[in-house]
Structure 1
């Protein structure tokens, strides 16, 4: 019986530069935190937790970055708050995005639908759950 041997070739695959990767991630987190502070309010003072939640989903991150511009194009508003829904299971987190506007209730519901539909059409692959609400705010 004849046996054939072939020499096995090994290829060295370089490891990622973890330091570089971490610094890029940290910079992205800092940019997102600055953006969040500038454009949103946090009723529960949980900015870091919300930042972490958003950062885990690139589609949700894109939504958050596009949201102020989109809202401005659809309606006049006073501010936007980010928080987690209180009425859900403790183990389930849903980001609650509330847009406060001085418009009338009927118009607000129409605007809420327009904004939600546009976001769903533009970003259908978001993995983290979120809800967008538009509520009246009297000046």
Structure 2
């Protein structure tokens, strides 16, 4: 009986040179960075800093992943940019999400409120702060 058990265990252990492990899987940071590059612009070229800020807050990360779909449901847009607000203390970071659209000003404000309210109503409050703005797209 012992001999059978030893054989079974031996066949379950992969040979070292054939085992690839988890080295080919992407890390969550790589996945987020790829998603951010594909869907957002970074006026300050601070992609790594912004991804670090987002990845530390699970609720904010969910919002960011869903944001292009949320925005598309409310308005047509040209691009979305992510940056940190310049008007705040450098130690207190607030993620500034700017949606660029060609809507009229009064409609942009209404859409900005709809998007913000929808996120507040449908997502738990993130730990990190963010602000959503809809601005006119200038070519």
TM-score by length of 2: 0.80
Q: 3-state SS of the aligned residue for 2:100?
A: strand
Moved more, 119-128 or 47-56: 119-128
Q: What is the distance in 1 between the residues matched to 2:31 and 2:124?
A: 24
2: distance between equivalents of 1:110 and 1:43? 25
| Structure 1 counterpart of 2:105 | 105
1:64 counterpart residue number: 64
Specify the SS of the correspondent of 2:27.
helix
1:137 aligns with 2:134: no
**Residue 124 of structure 1, CA deviation:** 2.8
**Runs of 4+ that moved beyond 2 A:** none
Give the equivalent residue in structure 2 for 1:94. 94
- Give the superposition deviation at 1:74: 0.3
Match of 1:9 in 2: none
Gaps of 5+ in 2: 1-20
Equivalent positions of 1:18-57 (< 5 A) are 27-57=27-57
CA RMSD in angstroms comes to 1.9
Mark the runs of 5 or more structure 1 residues left unpaired by the alignment: 1-19
